[in-house]
């Protein structure tokens, strides 16, 4: 590995590698990365799905795709944070896996560090992937991998609470009609909307549909549009349409509030569909509205299937076959159903909505969504996000006005 790539990896991973190496300085070789494998027919796959054991459909699919590529697959699973740290450490040791499935915001960080090959190098076909989803894996004019699926945010609503307020969910088309609905709900003695505004990436993730839905851009945090988005949430708290608990809510605790049956709305994702069926009350979903009308762009969650850099470029051919197998329409449908993801291609999305009508709203949301690192933000995004959630917290707690909070955030990002 060249000195420049080593330097870039060190910059990307300094803090995480210090933590990871204290525990597992020699862990990568025992995890079976390709550089350490004596068997040229063995290809390593790392994924962030520790919930799936060796007998699961996911692991059987990995093994099947390996067989079709003429190799044996050795799979290792980590939780999302640990996977990023392990990947950066393995790259430093020239010991990367052959195929890496990683959270989409991390792709640009790994690409910038020189850890990943581009699709020009590995020949992965991305032609069927939806452009807005593929953009999360693009940096510097190149594409690094392909999405395996996506989740995003929408609004769950309680049918009984809205009926008591005399509101037809179909009438909610913009911020004005949503806010008017919250006022009607409060007047009935019920509660309006719950969401996560915690001071972490989770808070930014939940705020971005409102931020982007205002027309704001992450490169201009204190624009009038951005101020209007923060003011929307701040005003909801002041008027009692949203509880003060949102300031500390995670997406999980926010959902737990909605599950009490007293809230009209909860902002949450596809991953709560199974829990929604267990609430005991009638529910529906609707896309998050943009300020003036239409569907607000929500951030995409989900993973990319990527091919890390190898000493032996001849390995990329088999890696491409494995990736192509994992991401063909037949296998994507099964995998995305298992992961509660919306497919990254129109073909799979159509199959999903044909099977389940309730997924239409989620397909609509994913089609309007965008990656957090899109617009070529790449590795700039984490700093921007941190300042954004800090500004949001300052405004919601009353420590600063929305304008002052966002002006301070923009100033910090620009330094």
Tens of pLDDT, residues 178-232: 999 999 999 999 999 999 999 999 999 999 999 999 999 999 999 999 999 999 9
- pLDDT at site 40: 53
pLDDT of residue 24: 26
Q: Is a pLDDT exceeding 50 seen at residue 34? A: no
Question: Which 3 state secondary structure label does DSSP give 30?
Answer: helix
Task: Assess whether pLDDT exceeds 70 at residue 349.
Answer: yes
What is the pLDDT, as a whole number, of residue 312? 94
Please state which of the ranges 39-48, 164-173, 194-203, 247-256 shows the lowest mean pLDDT: 39-48
Tell the residue number behind the tokens 């000195």, with chain if given.
3
Q: Which residues of 8-39 are buried (b: 16+ CB within 10 A; e: fewer)?
A: bbeebbeebbeebeeeeeeebeebbbbbebee
pLDDT at 81: 81
CA distance 111 to 106: 9
Q: Do domains 3-150+302-363 and 153-298+377-414 have the same CATH topology?
A: yes
At 8 the pLDDT is 54
11: confidence class by pLDDT, cuts 50, 70, 90: very low
What was the pLDDT predicted at 2? Answer: 55
Average pLDDT of span 125-146: 95
Per-residue model confidence (pLDDT) at position 28? 29
Mean pLDDT, the chain, whole residue set? 91
Q: Range with the lowest mean pLDDT among 9-18, 142-151, 177-186, 343-352? A: 9-18
Averaged pLDDT, 73-89: 93
pLDDT of 355-395, one tens digit each?
A: 999 999 999 999 999 999 998 898 899 999 999 999 999 99
Q: Does domain 3-150+302-363 have CATH number 3.30.1510.10?
A: no
Q: Specify the pLDDT at position 25.
A: 26
Q: Is the model's pLDDT at 102 over the cut of 60?
A: yes
Strands 72-77 and 283-286: unpaired
Q: Please enumerate in sequence order all residues whose Cβ is within 8 A of that of 409, keeping only pairs 6 or more positions apart, or say none.
A: 221, 222, 387, 388, 390, 391
Which of the four pLDDT bands, split at 50, 70 and 90, describes residue 27?
Answer: very low
**How far is residue 89 from each of residues 11, 79, 185, 411, measured CA to CA in Å?**
12, 15, 52, 33
The percentage of the chain sitting over the pLDDT mark of 70, rounded to a whole number, equals 90
pLDDT for position 39? 44
Amino acid 12: pLDDT: 52
pTM score, two decimals? 0.87
The half-sphere exposure of 221 on its side-chain side, counting CA atoms within 13 A, is 25
* 273 Cβ neighbours under 8 A, 6+ residues apart: 340, 358
Burial track 74-111 (b if 16+ CB lie within 10 A, e otherwise)? bbbbbeeebbbbbbbbbbbebbbbbbbbbbbbbbbbbb
What are the tokens at 32? 């079976």
List the beta bridge partners of residue 2: none
Q: Which of 18-22, 105-109, 395-399 ranks highest by mean pLDDT?
A: 395-399
The CATH label, of 3.40.190.10, 1.25.40.10, 1.10.150.120, 2.40.30.10, for the domain at 153-298+377-414 is: 3.40.190.10
DSSP state of 250: -
Q: Strands 146-147 and 303-306: what pairing?
A: antiparallel
CA atoms within 13 A on the CB side of 20: 20
Please name the residue that has the structure tokens 């390593």: 44
- Residue ranges per structural domain of the chain: 3-150+302-363, 153-298+377-414
246-295: pLDDT as tens digits: 999 999 999 999 999 999 999 999 999 999 999 999 999 999 999 999 99
Q: What is the dihedral of CA 199, 203, 205, 211, to 10 degrees?
A: -100
């Amino acid at each position: 590995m060249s000195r420049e790539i080593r330097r870039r990896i060190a910059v990307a991973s300094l803090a995480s590698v210090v933590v990871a190496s204290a525990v597992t300085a020699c862990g990568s070789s025992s995890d079976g990365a390709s550089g350490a494998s004596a068997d040229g027919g063995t290809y390593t796959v790392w994924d962030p799905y520790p919930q799936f054991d060796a007998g699961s459909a996911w692991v059987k699919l990995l093994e099947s795709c390996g067989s079709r590529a003429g190799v044996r697959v050795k799979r290792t699973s980590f939780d999302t944070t640990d996977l990023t740290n392990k990947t950066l450490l393995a790259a430093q040791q020239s010991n990367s896996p052959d195929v890496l499935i990683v959270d989409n915001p991390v792709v640009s960080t790994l690409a910038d560090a020189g850890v990943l090959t581009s699709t020009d190098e590995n020949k992965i076909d991305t032609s069927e992937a939806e452009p807005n989803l593929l953009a999360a894996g693009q940096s510097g004019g190149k594409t690094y991998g392909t999405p395996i699926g996506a989740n995003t945010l929408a609004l769950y609503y309680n049918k009984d609470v809205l009926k008591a307020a005399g509101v037809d969910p179909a009438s909610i088309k913009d911020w004005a009609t949503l806010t008017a609905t919250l006022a009607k709900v409060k007047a009935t003695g019920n509660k309006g909307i719950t969401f996560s505004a915690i001071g972490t990436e989770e808070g930014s993730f939940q705020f971005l549909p409102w931020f982007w839905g205002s027309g704001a851009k992450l490169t201009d945090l204190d624009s009038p549009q951005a101020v209007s988005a923060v003011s929307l949430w701040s005003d909801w708290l002041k008027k009692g349409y949203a509880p003060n608990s949102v300031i500390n809510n995670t997406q999980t605790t926010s959902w737990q509030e909605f599950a009490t049956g007293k809230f009209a709305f909860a902002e949450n994702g596809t991953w709560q569909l199974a829990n929604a069926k267990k609430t005991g009350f009638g529910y529906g979903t609707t896309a998050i509205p943009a300020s003036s009308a239409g569907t607000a762009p929500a951030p995409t969650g989900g993973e990319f299937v990527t091919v890390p850099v190898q000493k032996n470029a001849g390995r990329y051919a088999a890696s491409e076959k494995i990736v192509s197998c994992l991401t063909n329409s037949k296998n994507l449908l099964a995998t995305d159903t298992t992961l509660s993801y919306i497919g990254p291609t129109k073909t799979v999305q159509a199959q999903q909505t044909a099977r389940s009508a309730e997924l239409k709203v989620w397909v609509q949301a994913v089609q309007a969504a965008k990656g957090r690192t899109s617009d070529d933000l790449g590795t700039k995004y984490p700093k921007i996000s941190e300042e954004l959630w800090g500004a949001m917290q300052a405004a919601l707690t009353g420590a600063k006005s929305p304008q002052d909070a966002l002006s301070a955030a923009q100033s910090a990002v620009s330094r």
